[in-house]
Structures are given as C-alpha cells and as structure tokens.
A and B are shown apart, each in its own frame.
Chain A
C-alpha cells in the first residue's frame, strides 16, 4: 500500500506560504478548496500551475463549467474541455480516460465541481464523481486541484468528499480579508496547521489568539456546524419551491411555475425532447410531485417508469371511446433513483470494473457470474436502507416486482427489451427477510446492467460510453391470491402495429396482443412448447391454427408466485383449472373433446372431468377487452407519434368489465417492410438456390454473405447428451465473435427456435451469441421435432427487429422451399479453421466458407416486403463483374 510518509518527492504549490502551511504537496494529493467566491480559486490554481510548469511537470486544466475560465492559456498547459451534459457516466468515463492517457505525476486543475450539480441536479452524483476520480489520481501520483462553493451542497456529499480527499482547505472572507484554514491534510501535521490564517502578500498569519479566532469565525459566512448546511442542489431546491407553491395553492401556470415544473420533470423523467414534451403535456404538477415523493434516493426514475407514467397520463387525459378512470387500475409504485445505482457502484468498488467492461463491450457468462457475486456482496448506504425499509413496510406482504428502469431503456429508439433483469419478490416472511430479498433483487437488477447480452446490445447500438444509469421501478405485482399462488388473471404484451399478420385480412395498422393467463413472463419470454394467444386487434377471432391444432398450440403452463414457498414458479394450468373456481375462468377456457375445442356456454359442474384449454375465446367474444386494448394502442401511438408496445395485466369483474393495469409503454421498432424496394428474381437456376421461405417478417436484401453456420436439425435432434446440446450455443457465440471482424456477413441456420429455453427445440443462444449475424434461419423439420415459431412480441423477436437481423423460417420438407440439401451436405466444414479446439463439435456444427464451397461466389438473401417471400441464392453477379 502506498504511503505519503516519504517526503523526498515534494511538489510545490507556487505559494511558499501554502507549502509551509501544508508541509508541501505530495504525489497523489487531491486538494479541494472550499470557497465563498469562485474568484478566490484562480489565485491558488494559477500559482500551482505556474510553478508546476516551471518544475517541468505535465499540466492539464479540465474545463467543464459555465463559469469564467480558472486558468488562462499558457505554454505548457493543456486545456481540455469536457461536456458534462451527457451525464455522470459519460463525464466520469471521459475524465478517467484523460487521466489514464496522461499517465503518472501529472498536475491537474478542475473547474468548480459545484457547477456539475447544475447539470446533474444532485449532490449524490457530484460526490460519486469525486469518489471515483480522486482515488485514481492518488493511485497514479497525480496532483489535482478542485473547488467547491460553500453552502451549495448537502452534508452527505461534503462528508464523502472530505473522507476521500487528501487535503481540504477552507477559504473565506471576513471584513475584506481572506483567510485560509486547512480542514484535512493527510499524513502531515504541525501545531498551527489547522488554524485559520490571514492571507497577506508576504506571510500568512495564523489566528492564534482565542478572542480573535472566535470573532473571526463567528462573523464568517460559513456555518460552524455542517448539519445546518442544507443542499441547494436543484434536486432538493426545485422540489421545495414547487411543493411550497403547491401547498399554498399558488400553482397557476405562470412562467416561474412552468420552468420549475419542467426542471423537476427533467430531473425525474429525463431530457429527451419527446419525453419532456409528453411530460409537459400529460403530467400535472401533482403527478410530478407524487412521483418525486416516491423516489428512493435521488436521480431519475428511468425509461420504463417514465413510459408507464406517461402512458397513464395520456390515457387519463385524452378523450375517446372509453373512460380510463374506470378501466385503469391504480398503481402505487416506488422508484429507486438512478443516483443510487452509481453510489452503490462507487461504494462497493464496482465503478471502475463497469467502466472497463463498457469499453470492452463483452464478457463471458462465467465472468459475469463472478461479477454478479460481487454485486450481491455489495452494501447500500444507511439512508437508502432506511427508505427501502419504509417501502417494504408500505407494501406489507404483497408480492412486488423489482424492474430495471435504466435511463436508456424504453427510450424512443432503443427498447433494450429484456436485456436487464426483473425480479419478483414474493415478499413473505419477517420484515428483515423481506428486506434481504428486496436487496438481493435490486443487486441482481444492478448486476444485469453488465450482463453479456446487455453489453453486446449497448456496444452494437453505440451506447458503450453513454450515460446508462440503472434506476429501478418497484411495482406491486398485479393479481389475486388463489390457493397458495398469487397471479394476475391475464397478462401480456400489445403492439400498436401487427407484424404477425398471417393473412392479408388482418390490418397490420391496428395492432396485436400476445395474451397469457397468469404472470406476463410467459408472454415476453421465448418459452418452449407453450403458446400464448395471439390476437389481431382488427380480427380478434382469427387465429393461425384451426380444428385440432388449437388445443395443440395453446398455453399450458402458468407463471405464478407461490406464496407458500416464497418463490416464482411455473406450474401446469390444471393446478388452477380443476375446480373451475378461478374468477372469470369461463372467459378464458374451452373444453377439448376428441381434440376439438368447444367454448363454454355455461360453466360446467365441478365434477366433470373436462380437458380444458386456454383459448380466451369467450373473453374475446363477450367482453370489450380487445376493443379497449386497440383503443389504448391507438391513443398511445398518437401521443408517442410512433408505434408503441405495452405490457399489461388485466382482470375481468363479475359484470364482465375489463380492468387494465398498464405496466409499461415504449416505442416499437417496426421493420421497414414498406420502404424496402426489392423483388425476388422470377427465374433463378435451381442449383443457385439454397432455400426459399414464405414467412419473412422483415424485408430487405443481405448480400456478401461469406459464412454460413449450419446446424442440421436431424443431427441436432440426435445429439445424445444434454450437456453437448447446451454447449452448442456457446460455440455459436464464439463463432459469432470470430466472424464479426470478417469482411463478409454471416448467416446462421439451425433447427427450430433459436434462443429457446428448451434446448430440445432449438439452440440455446442469447443476444450476445448472435448479434453479429445478418440472417437468422430457423429450420423446421417436423420429423426431427423442431418447429419454428417466431414468437412475435417476445424480447428475442424485438432483438431481431432492432438489430436488423433478417429472420426466415424454412421448411425443407416442403418442396416449395427448394432446400439445397446437397450444398449443405457437401460443403467443406471450416469450423476447425476458425475454432481449432472445437473438434468435438465438428459433427454438429458446420461452418461453411461460402466462396470456398461456391467457386468464389458469396451468398445473398432477398426478402420481398410485399408478399414476405424470401430466397437465398449463390450470388454470381459479383464474379461476373470481376470477370468483365
């Protein structure tokens, strides 16, 4: 461990009096000057830099504030301007990068740190910044000067800064005299070091007489006890002012109130233009104050919370076919502010790891598991723990869900669908055990900010260096207790545009629902062998199955919270359906008789041994459910001015009135079916065709495909051991990384459902394993048991759309598919050239170097937007051009 005991390497401050007072500056010293007037700061900073230049040190002035420059340009001083407005994360990363680039023993002067609060609204982030930057400077023997304006920050922030820095000095004025008083000087001590000193041109005179000291300090601007020092950071001050106006009834929309309201909105919701506009329009001052009162810690509430609150605001304040005051369920959510996340990182030595990982943009799952463990071992500040305790007391033993709500999540261009974690807390047991369960959930959500899929997604979308803080939305789980379970009757996702228009009759502009019984996790995840009900808003009774297929392709498993076991579980539907006594069950189920589905006209007697299947037919036919959802989607799309998707739970009361709990609303990335102008060549030599598909969901042309990674469905189905099957996904991930840097594009072809949780039905990959592919093909060989199901509306599906990965299902057993088995069989497998240590997988995974197998040609996929047909061909056009 480094000590400052060795005094051989003394730096000079440029002020001999100061050097004398402090007994010199030491490598690694962070010097914080607390000033009444910023005008006092240049005197010290200027002298320091002038001296350091003379002494041959590298000198850097980091300028970021709106105030006048602290230093003038001089030879030997490098001035670097950083914009703090993108946020704490970006700013800290930039400063860190600069310090790293300049190496050891560099001298720094920073602008006033207090100005950062104007940008970031809270003292918490200021303290976080100091707490991550100061130790790094110390570590590399740099010396840095910082300034703080007295009286502008809360105790907590000042005390954290004091604790972290090596030197803290008060500069204050009394009767036109300026005094200096060191408050902390690490590793040095003298009998007069901590006395106030009068600054004069020649010598600095210590105020040693008690009477003088008392007179001086009692008339100084600074308060003697820090406890009286109330933060004037906007986070607190804006709120105080607005609350005062609100409580006194003085809330007429004058300019001052409007400005303050917008300021509060920006602090809570964010700066995105559209968010600000929606907030101004649809959230009242009362709404914003309510939100602010339910924020734990400080900082923004994140995209997911913002989307949910704004959507509720839109529905409650626009007029339409339905009165949403009778339809929307109330919510009583809490928000863990985004600052808490960074404080957690900083206090638990995780910040720099995160910074490095964001730069790197990748992490293996094994590494992540270790990192996650460190998150789980982390602790929260006492004041946050107190607030979390209050929240647990508030909810009592009601199940809650801890949901990620990062600043970028659910924004207007990037959905981050499912990248971060949500954790259910059954919330049973003693208050302490419930608090521990909650803390664990929060830490898991925090850790998920760094999971491999999230890192890959952020890197792909260009957010690695962006400001991505993790706020958290804590919601009461919507539902009812039933036996030992807790579950909502209905849950799902809904989209204002329907990408699952399996027939031309369906109006894709009118949206669709992906509906399940029980918790909505089954609607958003790509579950295997289980099928949510897909409902087209324009034609709700149509479904892509008929006759005996209906019962086959229906939901069988239900996600619930098991209150008796304090756990989230997936159970079979018959555990709930047997007594026919779940409220409104008659609206959700149909009988199956000889494989055919029969809707209930009346609820049958309890002792009948019916086989029940979840069709939701009576819900669709006998309630306003679909009409309401269509109206919601329509209104939200209008307000958002772009397609949206929502998550919801719902129930139907005994009078068949539908109640909706809107959990989330975000923009929906719709594939550009309309704008793409491609057509499939009418004549194509059969030997050039690799396959055809008639169910493309996104259209376009992908050429220059140089690698095809092919997993034969039959061979996959015959892999004897589960472990090998599980590992195939990881090998695909490695190929994905290796091929990412290649000039030509990659196409993945594999059995059934990529990303399925059931490895029998498809290769188990995450987003990070496939993000570099351009075309993803799911091969259905009924005989091998695989069946593609695009899982429209799942997070996996959203990933494909957002990443512009062309998705195609192919049915080789259908002659129309023109599946070129010969090509895939006879092409050389170059897997070992790419991954030499993967010999074990050579028989299962075929990596085809297309030019090698096709005489120099590359492959091309064309997906026609009009009829959703697609073709994959060996493209010889490039070769002919070369030959010409």
Chain B
C-alpha cells in the first residue's frame, strides 16, 4: 500500500456507496470517521536490560452493531491510517455477515523479526496492559492478524485475565484450542468461501460435481479450498500454483490433482511446481485456464485490466484480499464473470471468530459440525443478501456487498438514535 493512503481509499469506497444509496452527507461523514482511537506508548524491557518504547494503536471504527472486532497487527510499517482503513473494512465485513459486531483494528509498530520470543511476549502483554480499559469481551475483541499468532493471543488473554482477576477467554479470539479457541477455525476461511461458491453455482446452474477448479496460491487457504472443493462437491481440481510456479493436470486425467498429495508435496519440497505427473504452468497461465471456478488465494492485484479479458472462468471466488483491480472488475462484470468479492468470500474467518466469542460467553465448546452448520447459515444468508442487492441496484457483487453492509450499519446507527 506504499504511496497510497489506504484510509483515503476506504473513504472513497464509502463515498461511492453513499452515492448509490443516496446517503445524507452527515451520515456519510460519520461513516468516514473512526469513532474512537487509542494511541499508546509501550515501554518494554529488552533481553539485554535496556528499555525500548513501542508505539501502538487501537481503533474502534464503528460499534453501532456491537462490540468492535478486528485483528492486531505487529508490523514495522504500521501507520494509524492503515489501522483506520482496516478497521473500517472490518465494520463492513461484520455487518455483511450480519454479526452483532462492529469493526476495529489494532497495531503495534514493531518488527517481530527483531524480537526474541520473550521480548515478543513482554510486548504483547504491555500492549494489553495499555489498552485494557479500552477493550473487553463486550467492548472490543481483538484477534490475530499480520505477524501475530495464536500464541500471542494466548499471552494477551492471559494478561487481560490477570488484570481482571478472572479468566476472560472472550476478550480475544484466534486463541489456541486449549485456551478457548474454536473448533473449525483452521479451515474457516476456505470453508466459508466454499459455501459462497456452492450458492453461486446453484444460482447459475453449475453442477459442482462436474465443475473444474483452478486455485492460485497453495498456502493454508488454497489447500483447504482445494480439499473442500473435492470433499464437499466432488469438483475436479485441474490446476494449482504457488509463488514458484504451478501445475496443471493432463486432459486425460479424470480425477485431477489430489489436494492432499499436492499439499504434502509442497510441504516437503516447498512448492507444488514439480508435482509428479503434472504439466508445469505459470501462475499467470493458471488464471486464464478454461475452468468453471477460479479461486485466487494468494496475492493482491493479480487480475488486472491486462488479463481480465482472457479469463474464462464462470465464477471467481476471491479467497485472498484484493486480487482484482477496479479496472479488471469492470471488464469481468461486462463479460458476465460472476465475482464473489473478497470481503464476502473470505469472511468465514471472522465468522468463526464470532463463534469463538459466543462459545467463550457460554463457557461452552461446540463440535466442529456445529460450527460448520452455523457458518453455513451465516455465509449462505450473506451471499444471497449480496446477490439480491446486486440485482436490486444493478451493481456488481463488490459494490453490492458494500451497499448491503453500509445499509446495515446505518440502520443500527439510526435505531440507536445517532443519526
């Protein structure tokens, strides 16, 4: 995002949305302004005995619909505007999924690569001490994000609990299973995406048991997507790739790529690109394959105005963040490619985070099947609400997702009497 202020981008998106649904200017202004921000200084004792002061933030962008929800980032290039932008997007994401949550985000300017484990622990605990009054199970519930891990969430929960004098699992999500984490979190993002694909396929009359799928990116999300496509729908995975290259199965290969074999191969060799028995292709070639479903699950801006016209997929399910540029969006829309936009398609993660909160409230653990069933309900409902909005306003799915989310936030603000 270097060079472009992400918060300016976020505000432009709200403006565009406000235009579609004719929001009054004062409401638009409110939506473009974070409700609360906390800037903290965090003195941390380093291993060599010195004290280093870190800067941290927590932004609660909008909590009209409920406690703020959003991750904590540990990044050397963190800025308040990045945190603001990300917290606004969390607001729309939770609203789109109809979760009783607002949007928030936090960050600490630090480079975890320069910190030992014990320093990282002290920093995590210092951050929680500094924002203790600001967050809480009913106020603002953080989660892992860039360079923060389940282990860091565990330290933070422990610190919050120590100050509160009681165990407070619900203060944070993304915890390890042994400390109030939710079953089903591992593949939540991919599974949520699969549910939206299923709904889209039903809508457009695509038989997923006969569908072909190409997946760009074979990390955690990409692998689970491939696995679930096969497990849930019986689809044929014809191509996968990662940063080092990709593979495509041959025409006469009836079963396609076995997701487990590809994952194992990647884990042992660091890439899928020489998977035995497959043809080698580049990442760019994968995007242009003649498939039913294309799942970008890796990098931003890989579908651009240069390759959008060559894309032959019927459905693009954006499992990664921001794979399609605005120019490409227009081309794909005109060409009739159905896009399941990122903040709908990959919302399974935040949805299961919400489920984790709920389980923590009740001091209860659901089974994985229960989590999956509830996730299915939420994602199915969200997909159709976006589709209907798209039809209603004759706008593309991405614009529709924004519109639906903003409508819900505005409604809550109105009911609360804020506007």
Give the interface of A toward B (CB within 8 A).
502-503, 505, 529-530, 539, 541-548, 552, 556-557, 572-574, 593-596, 598, 611, 717-718, 760-761, 782-783, 785, 787, 814-816
B113 x A548 contact (CB < 8 A): no
> A556-B268, A572-B268 are contacts. A503–B244 as well, Cβ < 8 Å?
no
> A782-B299, A785-B245, A787-B243 are contacts. A502–B268 as well, Cβ < 8 Å?
no
In the complex, chain A residues whose CB is within 8 Å of the CB of B220: 548, 594-595
Q: Is B3 an interface residue (CB 8 A)?
A: yes
Picked from A530, A543, A594, A782, the residue with its CB within 8 Å of the CB of B150 is A594
> A572-B269, A761-B244, A785-B243 are contacts. A503–B114 as well, Cβ < 8 Å?
yes
B116 x A503 contact (CB < 8 A): no
Task: Report the Cα distance A761→B302, complex, angstroms.
Answer: 20
User: Would you give the shortest CB distance from B419 to chain A, in whole angstroms?
Assistant: 39
In the complex, chain B residues whose CB is within 8 Å of the CB of A545: 113
Interface centre among A556, A573, A787 (most CB of B within 10 A): A556
Shortest Cβ distance from A503 into B: residue: B114
22 contacts between A and B (CB under 8 A): A502-B113, A503-B111, A503-B113, A530-B270, A539-B47, A541-B116, A541-B117, A543-B113, A545-B113, A547-B112, A548-B220, A556-B268, A556-B269, A556-B270, A557-B269, A572-B269, A593-B150, A595-B220, A596-B150, A783-B283, A785-B243, A785-B245
Task: Report the Cα distance A261→B146, complex, angstroms.
Answer: 64
Closest 6 CB pairs of A and B: A572-B268, A529-B270, A503-B114, A546-B112, A541-B116, A785-B244
Task: Report the Cα distance A815→B4, complex, angstroms.
Answer: 11
Contacts A529-B270, A556-B268, A573-B268 aside, 16 further interface pairs with beta carbons under 8 A come to: A530-B270, A539-B116, A543-B113, A546-B147, A548-B220, A556-B269, A593-B150, A594-B220, A595-B219, A718-B282, A760-B273, A785-B242, A785-B273, A787-B243, A815-B2, A816-B2
In the complex, chain A residues whose CB is within 8 Å of the CB of B148: 547
User: Would you give the shortest CB distance from A879 to chain B, in whole angstroms?
Assistant: 32
Q: Is B367 an interface residue (CB 8 A)?
A: no
Task: Report the Cα distance A544→B113, complex, angstroms.
Answer: 5
Size of the chain B interface, CB-CB below 8 angstroms: 35
Task: Report the Cα distance A547→B120, complex, angstroms.
Answer: 12
B151 x A596 contact (CB < 8 A): yes
* Chain B 41-82 interface mask (CB, 8 Å, partner A; 1/0): 000000100000000000000000000000000000000000
In the complex, chain A residues whose CB is within 8 Å of the CB of B47: 539
Task: Report the Cα distance A98→B93, complex, angstroms.
Answer: 86
Shortest Cβ distance from B4 into A: residue: A815
Q: Is B359 an interface residue (CB 8 A)?
A: no
Shortest Cβ distance from A539 into B: residue: B116
Task: Report the Cα distance A816→B77, complex, angstroms.
Answer: 13
Interface SS of B by simple majority? loop
Interchain pairs with CB closer than 8 A, number = 82
Q: Which of B174-196 contact A (CB under 8 A)?
A: 185-186
Give the interface of B toward A (CB within 8 A).
2-3, 47, 111-117, 146-151, 185-186, 219-220, 242-245, 267-271, 273, 282-284, 299, 302
Task: Report the Cα distance A816→B1, complex, angstroms.
Answer: 12
In the complex, chain B residues whose CB is within 8 Å of the CB of A529: 244, 269-271
B113 x A594 contact (CB < 8 A): no
Shortest Cβ distance from B74 into A: residue: A546
Task: Report the Cα distance A816→B302, complex, angstroms.
Answer: 20
In the complex, chain A residues whose CB is within 8 Å of the CB of B270: 529-530, 552, 556
A783 x B299 contact (CB < 8 A): yes
In the complex, chain B residues whose CB is within 8 Å of the CB of A572: 268-269
Task: Report the Cα distance A552→B268, complex, angstroms.
Answer: 10
User: Would you give the shortest CB distance from B201 to chain A, in whole angstroms?
Assistant: 27
A542 x B245 contact (CB < 8 A): no
Shortest Cβ distance from A571 into B: residue: B268
User: Would you give the shortest CB distance from A517 to chain B, in whole angstroms?
Assistant: 14
Interface centre among B2, B114, B150 (most CB of A within 10 A): B114
A542 x B219 contact (CB < 8 A): no
Task: Report the Cα distance A593→B271, complex, angstroms.
Answer: 18
Shortest Cβ distance from B145 into A: residue: A547
A785 x B283 contact (CB < 8 A): yes
Task: Report the Cα distance A787→B243, complex, angstroms.
Answer: 9
In the complex, chain B residues whose CB is within 8 Å of the CB of A611: 267
In the complex, chain A residues whose CB is within 8 Å of the CB of B114: 503, 505, 542
Shortest Cβ distance from A816 into B: residue: B2
Task: Report the Cα distance A505→B282, complex, angstroms.
Answer: 39
> A595-B219, A785-B244 are contacts. A815–B3 as well, Cβ < 8 Å?
yes
Task: Report the Cα distance A542→B186, complex, angstroms.
Answer: 27
Shortest Cβ distance from A506 into B: residue: B114
Shortest Cβ distance from A814 into B: residue: B2
Shortest Cβ distance from B115 into A: residue: A542
Task: Report the Cα distance A48→B291, complex, angstroms.
Answer: 93
Task: Report the Cα distance A505→B3, complex, angstroms.
Answer: 28
User: Would you give the shortest CB distance from A706 to chain B, in whole angstroms?
Assistant: 33
User: Would you give the shortest CB distance from A510 to chain B, in whole angstroms?
Assistant: 13
A542 x B269 contact (CB < 8 A): no
A782 x B243 contact (CB < 8 A): yes
> A529-B270, A547-B148, A760-B273 are contacts. A594–B302 as well, Cβ < 8 Å?
no
Shortest Cβ distance from A575 into B: residue: B268
In the complex, chain B residues whose CB is within 8 Å of the CB of A787: 243
Interface centre among A544, A598, A611, A783 (most CB of B within 10 A): A783
In the complex, chain A residues whose CB is within 8 Å of the CB of B242: 785
A548 x B219 contact (CB < 8 A): yes
Task: Report the Cα distance A574→B268, complex, angstroms.
Answer: 7
Task: Report the Cα distance A598→B283, complex, angstroms.
Answer: 31
Task: Report the Cα distance A285→B270, complex, angstroms.
Answer: 51
Shortest Cβ distance from A717 into B: residue: B282
A596 x B149 contact (CB < 8 A): yes
Shortest Cβ distance from A598 into B: residue: B151
B113 x A546 contact (CB < 8 A): yes
In the complex, chain B residues whose CB is within 8 Å of the CB of A542: 113-116
User: Would you give the shortest CB distance from A812 to chain B, in whole angstroms?
Assistant: 13
> A541-B116, A595-B220 are contacts. A760–B147 as well, Cβ < 8 Å?
no
User: Would you give the shortest CB distance from A462 to chain B, in whole angstroms?
Assistant: 40
B147 x A547 contact (CB < 8 A): yes
Task: Report the Cα distance A557→B271, complex, angstroms.
Answer: 12
Task: Report the Cα distance A15→B112, complex, angstroms.
Answer: 90
In the complex, chain B residues whose CB is within 8 Å of the CB of A718: 282, 284
User: Would you give the shortest CB distance from B119 to chain A, in whole angstroms?
Assistant: 9
B268 x A760 contact (CB < 8 A): no
Task: Report the Cα distance A815→B284, complex, angstroms.
Answer: 22
User: Would you give the shortest CB distance from A761 to chain B, in whole angstroms?
Assistant: 7
User: Would you give the shortest CB distance from A821 to chain B, in whole angstroms?
Assistant: 14
User: Would you give the shortest CB distance from A618 to chain B, in whole angstroms?
Assistant: 12
In the complex, chain A residues whose CB is within 8 Å of the CB of B269: 529, 556-557, 572
In the complex, chain A residues whose CB is within 8 Å of the CB of B271: 529
User: Would you give the shortest CB distance from A634 to chain B, in whole angstroms?
Assistant: 19
User: Would you give the shortest CB distance from B282 to chain A, in whole angstroms?
Assistant: 6
Shortest Cβ distance from B245 into A: residue: A785
Shortest Cβ distance from A714 into B: residue: B284
Interface centre among A544, A545, A595 (most CB of B within 10 A): A595
In the complex, chain B residues whose CB is within 8 Å of the CB of A598: 151
User: Would you give the shortest CB distance from A416 to chain B, in whole angstroms?
Assistant: 31
Task: Report the Cα distance A541→B219, complex, angstroms.
Answer: 25
B244 x A760 contact (CB < 8 A): yes
Shortest Cβ distance from A552 into B: residue: B270
User: Would you give the shortest CB distance from A500 to chain B, in whole angstroms?
Assistant: 12
Shortest Cβ distance from A719 into B: residue: B282
Shortest Cβ distance from B242 into A: residue: A785
B185 x A594 contact (CB < 8 A): yes
User: Would you give the shortest CB distance from A70 to chain B, in whole angstroms?
Assistant: 69
Task: Report the Cα distance A539→B243, complex, angstroms.
Answer: 30
Task: Report the Cα distance A556→B244, complex, angstroms.
Answer: 16
Task: Report the Cα distance A548→B220, complex, angstroms.
Answer: 10
Shortest Cβ distance from A551 into B: residue: B267
Picked from B113, B115, B150, B302, the residue with its CB within 8 Å of the CB of A783 is B302
Task: Report the Cα distance A425→B273, complex, angstroms.
Answer: 32
Task: Report the Cα distance A611→B186, complex, angstroms.
Answer: 14
Task: Report the Cα distance A543→B111, complex, angstroms.
Answer: 11
